[in-house]
Amino acid sequence: MIGIVGYGGYIPRFRIKVEEIAAVWGSNANSIKKGLDVEEKSVPSIDEDTATISVEAALNALKMAGIDPKEIGAIYIGSESHPYAVKPTSTIVGEAIGCSTEYTSADTEFACKAGTAGIQMVMGLIQGDYIKFGLAIGADTAQSKPGDALEYTAAAGGAAFIIGKNGIIAEIEGTYSCSSDTPDFWRRDTIEYPSHGGRFTGIPAYFKHTVSATQGMMNKLGFKPNDFDFVVFHMPNGKFPKRAAKMLGFDFKKLEPGFVVQKIGNTYSGSSLLGLAAILDIAKPGQRILITSYGSGAGSDSFSIKVTDLIEEKRKNANKVQDYIDNREYVTYAHYTRLRRGI
Amino acid sequence: MKVAVIGIGTTEFGENWDKNLRQLAIEAGTKAIIDAGIRGRDLDAIYLGNMSAGRFVGQEHVAALVSGELGLSIPALRIEGACASGGLALRQGIFSILSGQHDIVLVGGAEKMTDLMTDGVTSSLMGAADQEWEAYYGVTFPSLYAMIARRHMFEFGTTREQMAKVAVKNHHNGFLNPIAQFKKEITIEDVLKSPMVADPLTLFDCSPITDGAATLILCKEEWAKKYTDDPIYIIGSGQASDTLALHDRKSLTTLDATVKAAKEAYKQSGITTKGVDVVEVHDCFTIAEIVATEDLGFCKKGEGGKLLDEGLTEIGGKIPVNTSGGLKAVGHPVGASGIKQAVEIVLQLRGKADKRQVKDAEIGLTHNVGGSGGTAVVHIFSR
């Protein structure tokens, strides 16, 4: 039985409100808030990046897992904001959290779904008995062009998952993916900010892959929407996951516990995984969780996860996602610009 | 003059991300050929209205592209007159039959706009304005029409609510039209509260960016009954031009090209405004419909807003305008709009407009504009 041995999230403290950004661009904050269903977003501090966020999340996961970091045989970090174009984030993190040198690692990129792809890669290594435990992380300090619609949501945060066969707090019952060449959002090498296809990011991109992967996973495992107690989808804004849930026949109540986007924005590779972590923070043994990520370009990974009895004991002393959401300090646009190294 | 329309076809209008220009044009063309009950080989020529495929999708030479896709080797010609390209293609198709050169022709309009981002579309569309005297100074079509709107408000007391009523009416009609991009009813409040685009025009005052194609099959009058029991005849065609730049005209609130094109079409057909039962006008912005109803003579100059207050341009009103939903709700694939207007009028005159049907419609009119009025083309149709 493969599953999650420990997990942990991390969200930077700083927040900027939609009103603060809208005022700078002369835009109507209320219509943006209504359109995106987002109120504020997290902002990384000047010394935070994907590596530091990954380290924080991984330390939380290790604390919960209660394993020796030297037992970790693989590290995959999914992000679209790796600090280096060449030189891995994953070895920085491995070193910082006290891993041995006996592990395989790579940085992955698939827009916002490289973290869940990392989980699948680790699952394969575990299934093949190549390693005992593996660490998969999704983390980002998302870029957005000043004045672009993305600026209201592009946020920072991440979540780490230690996968293994022993001491699992939740079983991964199965996974299913859907991928296609769909250019809805991209950033070319050496270009500072990503571009996107406006509404093209919706139906032919996000919804097509999210819905197909979710339905494919349910068909493969023989589940129906009623079999799940919680669902989480990638949260590029508040509207898309709500609509995806509706299209697939899930009540908002099942989405709500992992619906972290309104207060922290879109944490890209961290988004669906932070939602999953928030759900695991409150889920009871026996409950079943559906998670479907989405990465532009485009693809979705869908998982069915069933919580085990061990969860209550192991999460006792862990930092909760909600703690990070609540621990916040608002910044002005000027301060935000400085933190983003704009001035 | 009299030329018959024996077949019509359209694609759905909207963000057709899964269809390219070729597929859109062929879909509408094939539907029209089937509707006419002819074979492709019966066609003598193709006239295709297309404004800017070169900029929108990097494809020129689009008429031959369509001809080739249909497996034909007949003369195929692209007609360009900005957003009036469709109406102009129709006019050239009519002339080709009246000249005796052709017996049956396909006239189409097609545009694929959503491959570009909005700013790319906006700057491509600005090709329809005066580059040196308008575009270089930063105006775009919303701001040109905003100036027309402001002046209309100043001269005649036209209100924002009256403009909003154009959008509300056309969305209502679009709601009833299966091909419309927006099949959603809206309120005056929705229009007034939508994001500002160019004061006084808000988002819902503006027609959208759209992919779509529409086609007519024209046939010489004597042959029409061979193919259909229900031919619709084109009995008047007028076209006129004006300066591209808005500021070069003597009035901001009258499109002289519309007035002149209409005068010619009325004269040819022997029809007056009183005889017209249903109208499709070029409502690229809500103010454009108000100005058009005046310039076409359906009310006195300055009273276009009143037509809306009195509900006269609604389906069931005295002179229903844009029963299709107009450019506003059906969408505005620039080169295709002029043909789509004709398709709607043919449906109305055939009595096949379903819930949008204007009772006993005998005579219909289409009005298609290029740019801010540099080109206007008017056609009159009869049962």
A185 with A142, same domain: the answer is no
B156 with B28, same domain: the answer is no
Peptide linkage before B333 cis (omega within 30 of 0): no
Asked if B377 contacts B237 with a C-beta cutoff of 8 angstroms, the reply is: yes
Residues 297-356 of B with CB under 8 A from A: none
B129 with B40, same domain: the answer is no
Show residues of chain A in contact with B199, CB under 8 Å: none
A16 with A161, same domain: the answer is yes
A208 with A299, same domain: the answer is yes
Average pLDDT, integer, range B44-53:
98
Q: Alpha helices, DSSP H only, in chain B?
A: 21-36, 53-56, 62-69, 85-98, 118-125, 141-156, 160-175, 188-193, 224-227, 256-269, 286-295, 304-309, 326-330, 337-350
Q: Of A7, A11, A4, which is closest to residue A323 (Cα–Cα)?
A: A11
Residue B379 designated active-site = no
Torsion, Cα of B210, B109, B224, B40 (10° steps): -110
> Collapsing DSSP states into helix, strand and coil, what is residue B220?
strand
A45 with A156, same domain: the answer is yes
B290 with B155, same domain: the answer is yes
CA distances from B84 to A300, A343, B47, B98, B333 (A): 43, 49, 13, 21, 11
8-state DSSP, B325: -
Q: What is the pLDDT of residue B58?
A: 96
Q: Alpha helices, DSSP H only, in chain A?
A: 18-25, 29-36, 50-65, 89-96, 114-127, 208-221, 239-248, 252-255, 261-264, 271-280, 311-314, 321-326, 333-339
Q: What is the pLDDT of residue A341?
A: 81
Check whether B303 has a pLDDT greater than 90. Answer: yes
Q: Of A314, A226, A319, A317, which is closest to residue A277 (Cα–Cα)?
A: A319
* Average pLDDT across chain A, whole number: 97
Check whether A342 has a pLDDT greater than 90. Answer: no
Tokens of B25: 């044009």
Contacts of residue B131, defined as CB under 8 A and 6 or more positions apart, other chains included, come to none
CB contact under 8 A, A198 and B117: yes
Gap from B285 CA to chain A (nearest CA, Å):
22
Asked if A63 contacts A317 with a C-beta cutoff of 8 angstroms, the reply is: yes
Helix (H) and strand (E) counts in chain A: 13, 14
A216 with A236, same domain: the answer is yes
B152 with B71, same domain: the answer is no
8-state DSSP, A109: -
B289 with B155, same domain: the answer is yes
A49 with A198, same domain: the answer is no
Residue B61 designated active-site = no
> Domain containing B340 — which CATH number?
3.40.47.10
Tokens of B114: 């959503």
Residue A77 has phi, psi (to 5 degrees) of -120, 120
Contacts of residue B366, defined as CB under 8 A and 6 or more positions apart, other chains included, come to B87, B279, B280, B281, B338, B341, B342, B345, B378, B379, B381
In single-letter form, the type of residue at position A71 comes to E
CB contact under 8 A, B195 and A31: yes
A227 with A332, same domain: the answer is no
Q: What is the pLDDT of residue A318?
A: 86
CB contact under 8 A, A200 and B114: yes
B316 with B194, same domain: the answer is yes
Q: Residue A145, class by beta-carbon neighbours within 10 Å (0-12 exposed, 13-18 middle, 19+ buried)? A: middle
Give the CB-side neighbour count of residue B295, counting CA atoms within 13 A.
Answer: 31
Check whether B349 has a pLDDT greater than 90. Answer: yes
Confidence of residue A139 (pLDDT cuts 50, 70, 90): very high
Check whether A237 has a pLDDT greater than 90. Answer: yes
8-state DSSP, A207: I
A54 with A79, same domain: the answer is yes
Q: In terms of DSSP bridges, do strands B232-241 and B3-10 run parallel, antiparallel, or are they unpaired?
A: antiparallel
Contacts of residue A248, defined as CB under 8 A and 6 or more positions apart, other chains included, come to A211, A214, A215, A225, A231
For residues B48 and B89, what is the distance between their CA atoms, to the nearest angstrom?
Answer: 6
B253 with B364, same domain: the answer is yes
Tokens of A252: 């908002």
Asked if B253 contacts B154 with a C-beta cutoff of 8 angstroms, the reply is: no
Domain count, chain A: 2
Check whether B1 has a pLDDT greater than 90. Answer: no
For residues B318 and B325, what is the distance between their CA atoms, to the nearest angstrom?
Answer: 17
- Name residue, tokens 């516990």: A257
For residues A139 and A141, what is the distance between their CA atoms, to the nearest angstrom?
Answer: 7
Report the residue from B17, B117, B195 with minimal CB separation from A204.
B17
CA distances from A90 to A97, A251, A285 (A): 11, 37, 32
A334 with A288, same domain: the answer is no
Show residues of chain A in contact with B195, CB under 8 Å: 28, 31
For residues B156 and B299, what is the distance between their CA atoms, to the nearest angstrom?
Answer: 13
B187 with B240, same domain: the answer is yes
B184-235, pLDDT tens digit by residue? Answer: 999 999 999 999 999 999 999 999 999 999 999 999 999 999 999 999 999 9
Gap from B191 CA to chain A (nearest CA, Å):
13
- Name residue, tokens 């219909």: B364
| Structural domain harbouring A276 | 172-311
| Structural domain harbouring B72 | 3-117+210-227
Torsion, Cα of B12, B16, B20, B26 (10° steps): -10
Peptide linkage before A298 cis (omega within 30 of 0): yes
Gap from A204 CA to chain B (nearest CA, Å):
8
Q: Of B240, B268, B236, which is closest to residue B342 (Cα–Cα)?
A: B236
> Domain containing A191 — which CATH number?
3.40.47.10
A67 with A111, same domain: the answer is yes
8-state DSSP, A270: G
Q: Residue A19, class by beta-carbon neighbours within 10 Å (0-12 exposed, 13-18 middle, 19+ buried)? A: middle
- Name residue, tokens 């017209």: B276
> Collapsing DSSP states into helix, strand and coil, what is residue A230?
strand
Average pLDDT, integer, range A29-38:
94
CB contact under 8 A, B17 and A31: no
Q: What is the pLDDT of residue B143?
A: 97
Asked if B169 contacts B312 with a C-beta cutoff of 8 angstroms, the reply is: no
Length of chain A: 343
DSSP letter string over A320-340? PHHHHHHS-EE--HHHHHHHT
Handedness of CA A27, A28, A29, A35 (dihedral sign): negative
B164 with B27, same domain: the answer is no
For residues A305 and A283, what is the distance between their CA atoms, to the nearest angstrom?
Answer: 11
Confidence of residue A199 (pLDDT cuts 50, 70, 90): confident
For residues A181 and A162, what is the distance between their CA atoms, to the nearest angstrom?
Answer: 30
Gap from A145 CA to chain B (nearest CA, Å):
15
Domain end point (choices B196, B227, B258):
B227
For residues B184 and B204, what is the distance between their CA atoms, to the nearest angstrom?
Answer: 12
B379: how many CB neighbours lie within 10 A of its CB? 28
Domain end point (choices B227, B260, B288):
B227
A22 with A74, same domain: the answer is yes
* Average pLDDT across chain B, whole number: 97
B195 with B216, same domain: the answer is no
A268-277, pLDDT tens digit by residue? Answer: 999 999 999 9
Contacts of residue A115, defined as CB under 8 A and 6 or more positions apart, other chains included, come to A77, A78, A79, A108, A136, A137, A138, A139, A158, A159, A269, A270, A272, A273, A293
Q: What is the pLDDT of residue B336?
A: 98
Domain count, chain B: 2
B83 with B157, same domain: the answer is no
> Collapsing DSSP states into helix, strand and coil, what is residue A21?
helix
B245-271, pLDDT tens digit by residue? Answer: 999 999 999 999 999 999 999 999 999
A255 with A277, same domain: the answer is yes
Report the residue from A28, A195, A200 with minimal CB separation from B17.
A200
Check whether A326 has a pLDDT greater than 90. Answer: yes
CA A2 to chain centre: 20
Q: Among A80, A82, A151, A196, which one carries the catalytic annotation?
A: A80
B107 with B171, same domain: the answer is no
Give the CB-side neighbour count of residue A43, counting CA atoms within 13 A.
Answer: 27
CA distances from A192 to A189, A195, A283, B156 (A): 8, 10, 39, 50
CA distances from A16 to A112, A156, B5, B111 (A): 21, 12, 60, 41
Asked if B243 contacts B138 with a C-beta cutoff of 8 angstroms, the reply is: no
Average pLDDT, integer, range A26-43:
95
- Chain A to chain B Cβ contacts (< 8 Å): 13
CB contact under 8 A, A199 and B15: yes
B127-168, pLDDT tens digit by residue? Answer: 999 999 999 999 999 999 999 999 999 999 999 999 999 999
Q: What is the pLDDT of residue A317?
A: 81
Check whether B301 has a pLDDT greater than 90. Answer: yes
